[in-house]
Amino acid sequence: MTKNRTRKATAYAFAAVLTAGAAVTMVSPAHAEDSEAQARHGCPYGAVCIYPQDNWNGGNPEHVYHSYGAHPLHEEYGVQRLFNNQYGGATVSLCKGTDGTNCGTEMDPNTYADVDFTPFNTIRLNP
């Protein structure tokens, strides 16, 4: 039970730093019991996915990102779920700068966060 509380506390602390003031409603590790080499919640293994609301949307992500680097966000407002299904330590950041700059803390693989996307202009996948 102590281990779960520590994980939750760490996840919530990460969410606060990640968003740099944006509203976050929940952060949690992805299902650890799943095999690492598979899609989760409709998000392909090795990808980062955005779901249109603060839920898994029936396993149908709205956006799927496969390549490292900065990607512009278009018309992304309000709380949406961000899921990092990458591997090998690859992280993801949300950035206020239009060119992938002014980014928040990197989000580790196999984690998700419900984030207010309103202040962000890009998403950056980091190797």
Report residue 16 as tokens: 């606060």
Spatial contact of 49 and 103, defined as CB atoms under 8 Å apart: no
Task: Give the DSSP H or E segment for 24.
Answer: strand 24-29
Mean pLDDT of 96-116: 96
- Asked if pLDDT for residue 33 goes beyond 50, the answer is no
pLDDT number for residue 79 = 98
What average pLDDT is seen over the chain?
81
Reported confidence tier of residue 37, pLDDT bands at 50, 70, 90: low
pLDDT number for residue 21 = 40
- Asked if pLDDT for residue 114 goes beyond 50, the answer is yes
Residues 6 or more apart from 72 whose CB is under 8 A from it? 98, 121, 122
pLDDT number for residue 9 = 38
